[in-house]
Amino acid sequence: MLMLSDDLGQLSYDVAGDGPPVVLIHAGVADHHMWDALVPTLAERHTVIRYDLRGFGESAPPTGPFGETDDLRRLLDHLGHERVRLVGASWGGRVAVDFTLAHPERVHSLAMFAAPWPRYSWSADMIAYDEAETAALDAGDLDAAVRINLDMWLRGPARGWADVADGLSDRLSGPLRTSLENQALVGQYSEGPGAGDLATVSVPTLVGVGKLDVPDFQDIARRYATAIPGADLVEFATAAHLIAMDAPSELGSVLVPFLAR
């Protein structure tokens, strides 16, 4: 991994392939490795840029206030890319949306998968999950917090562990643990989701969600697809929240033609 240092620490990033640049932004329970199975396909046609958000993967936790969109702009400036295609998963999807709203001239297209909706009225199941995670972290039981998050975001509410591909839990556990260890510090310093009118998004937009994901996120995906002019909605029948890990081939078959637009 390469490192971009600044006065708040450093951002870890990776570049593969050659062609029009695509930036992959990971979920808030993962790191850049969540895209591993998709990179070879995209790198045949694109310069594929992956990075770890602050406090995730190999990027150090922040030492002061920061903005995710500012970090992305700084990385693009460092790499010399004026305009890119953005692909984001979960919280990374929201970062991609916020960057598009803040810097529309720098975005060629936007693809977002299971992105959250700011100030959404969460269901009882989501509230129960949040309370369980908080209780585990307050008790200092990081192992329990990891299990709670694996159940929610990898397995999902609509299937058993026998239906989850072998090895995915092991692949996600380490990055998930790191995110939980740094969660309080990141939450303290992050500026959070941005503001802006989704109706002003004018670039080609793809909204995706797994049919096995939490119902809240299926509803949110429909909201985004309705609010962003001309957005396309794609549902992945075999995926829960982390589509790039659950269904990389299916995701690639959708992303490749979209990114070529």
Distance CA 156, CA 214 (A): 7
Q: What is the pLDDT of residue 231?
A: 98
pLDDT (tens place) for every residue of the chain, 261 residues total: 999 998 888 999 999 999 999 999 999 999 999 999 999 999 999 999 999 999 999 999 999 999 999 999 999 999 999 999 999 999 999 999 999 999 999 999 999 999 999 999 999 999 999 999 999 999 999 999 999 999 999 999 999 999 999 999 999 999 999 999 999 999 999 988 888 899 999 999 999 999 999 999 999 999 999 999 999 999 999 999 999 999 999 999 999 999 998
Q: What is the pLDDT of residue 116?
A: 96
What does the H/E/C string look like for 4-73?
EEECCEEEEEEEECCCCEEEEECCCCCCHHHHCCCHHHHHCCCEEEEEECCCCCCCCCCCCCECHHHHHH
Q: What is the pLDDT of residue 55?
A: 96
Q: What is the pLDDT of residue 15?
A: 98
Q: What is the CA radius of gyration of the chain?
A: 17
Q: Are 59 and 9 in contact (CB under 8 A)?
A: yes
Task: Tokens 């794609």: give the residue.
Answer: 234
Distance CA 188, CA 181 (A): 13
- pTM here is 0.97
Q: What is the pLDDT of residue 173?
A: 98
Distance CA 89, CA 56 (A): 14
Q: What is the pLDDT of residue 7?
A: 87
Q: What is the pLDDT of residue 196?
A: 87
Q: Are 250 and 38 in contact (CB under 8 A)?
A: no
Domains of the chain, start order? 2-121+186-259 (3.40.50.1820)
